[in-house]
Amino acid sequence: MSDYIFPPAVQPSVAVRGTAARYAVARIFCVGRNYAAHAREMGSDPDREPPFYFSKPACALVPSGSHVAYPPATQNYHYEMELVVAIGAPVFKVTPEVARAAVWGYGAGLDMTRRDLQAEAKAHGRPWDTAKGFDQSAVITELVRASETGAMAAGAITLSVNGIEKQRGDLADMIWNVAEIVANLSQLYHLQPGDLIYTGTPDGVGAVLPGDVISGQIAGLPSVSLTITQPD
């Protein structure tokens, strides 16, 4: 006899390069405005203000290479190319030095955004959940172990739409680097294996439409891609 009224949801997970084993995902944290030029294009002061965060549900994950329908309730559907960090050890209220050792791996991701809903939420001082945490809004490649990539402190991060480059930056341009982000987030949460952190996007974000193909690259990681199809 089942202990559940309905069958439990499938455990969200991400593929890992070089193994059939997968990384089970519990939470997705996202850093807002972590590149100075993107902060400016969104109308904010990039003067190293403390990082802030929003979240996406783990069920929003979708693997790179997917075809995703243009989402409902938006007329301004945006891409944001990001480095994704996978936590591999419990950390709470730690220093950047300790935080660095807790990083298990990295991936390339897209933080897909209903920008018009985000703008409306900002204007009314409301949460960003409907703008950021919708179905299939967290695109991700397979993860690569940190032991294979190094610290990912620098390297090109780019995104193209239909073969035309839209975003170009460098991981060294992040206002808060990976170790600082993990350390800061650990002041707020008991971080655990299964936590992913999308670390922010360079400038050049923009809208996509059905039929568009997005492709992104971060030096040393698999390429991320997404094809936008007609609305359901």
pLDDT in tens, 105-158: 999 999 999 999 999 999 999 999 999 999 999 999 999 999 999 999 999 999
CA distance 221 to 107: 6
Domain assignment present for residue 133? The answer is yes
Residue 45 predicted with pLDDT over 70: no
User: What's the predicted TM-score (pTM) here?
Assistant: 0.96
Burial of 8: CB neighbours in 10 Å, binned 0-12, 13-18, 19+: exposed
CA distance 162 to 28: 28
Terminal-residue alpha carbon distance, the chain: 37
Domain assignment present for residue 2? The answer is no
CA distance 111 to 140: 9
Instruction: Give the DSSP letter of residue 60.
Output: G
Residue 31 predicted with pLDDT over 90: yes
Which CATH number goes with the domain that contains 109?
Answer: 3.90.850.10
3-state secondary structure of 148: helix
Mean pLDDT across 167-195? 97
Q: What tokens were used for 35?
A: 């590149």
Cβ neighbors of 83 (< 8 A, separation 6 or more) are 106, 107, 108, 109, 152, 157, 171, 178, 198, 199, 218, 221
Domain assignment present for residue 6? The answer is no
CA distance 51 to 187: 12
Contact between residue 57 and residue 72 where contact means Cβ atoms under 8 Å apart: no
Nearest to 198 by CA among 132, 118, 138, 122: 138
**49-68 pLDDT, tens digit each:** 789 999 999 999 999 999 99
Contact between residue 113 and residue 78 where contact means Cβ atoms under 8 Å apart: yes
Domain assignment present for residue 84? The answer is yes
Task: Return phi, psi of residue 89, to 5°.
Answer: -155, 150
3-state secondary structure of 41: helix
Q: Which domain holds residue 165?
A: 13-229
Domain assignment present for residue 162? The answer is yes
Of the chain, the percentage scoring pLDDT greater than 90 comes to: 92
Mean pLDDT across 221-232? 98
Residue 46 predicted with pLDDT over 70: no
What radius of gyration do the chain's Cα atoms show? 17
Domain assignment present for residue 96? The answer is yes
Residue 195 predicted with pLDDT over 70: yes
Q: Please tell me the total count of domains within the chain.
A: 1
Mean pLDDT across 82-110? 98
Domain assignment present for residue 189? The answer is yes
